[in-house]
Amino acid sequence: MTVALMAVVILAASLAALLQFFGIYCRSLIAASVAQPLSPEIQEVTGITSGAAGPEDFPRVVQLLRLCPDFSNDRQQLSAIRLYFWLVKSARWTLASLLPDVRSWAETQLAQCAYFAAVALDHRVSSSRTALAAQMHDSR
């Protein structure tokens, strides 16, 4: 019985550490994207101005990302941010009534996830334009 209990404690501690490192990784990705401005075209398409994304923008921007070719190999980062978005949204839904500060923190994190996705969309569009320009130059 004590061996099983020890195994459960070790598993729980390991999962807590993994979740903490995952959160740090996602927040570092988000922090790097917040400093990048959006192009006017992406601002027009997404309705997001630099720094003014909302949590409700994330699903729409992810849908736009799915329409763009992936030249920048950012698929793993986007998957991590989508999972982080889901985890934060779940935390907001479950803990907001108990801890009021969680709601404002979660809203900020969700909005930053949406801005990250918009920056990724901007990079994909830029990469597509570069690839098209190179292809047109090569065909001459």
Q: What is the pTM of this model?
A: 0.85
3-state secondary structure of 50: coil
Q: Which of 130, 123, 103, 129 is nearest to 33 (CA)?
A: 123
At 117 the pLDDT is 93
Give the range of the structural domain holding residue 81, as residue numbers without chain letter: 2-138
**Using one digit for the tens of pLDDT, what is the confidence trace for 96-124?**
778 888 888 999 999 999 999 999 999 88
If one counts the domains in the chain, the total is 1
Sequence-ordered alpha helix ranges (H) in 35-70: 40-46, 57-67
At 50 the pLDDT is 64
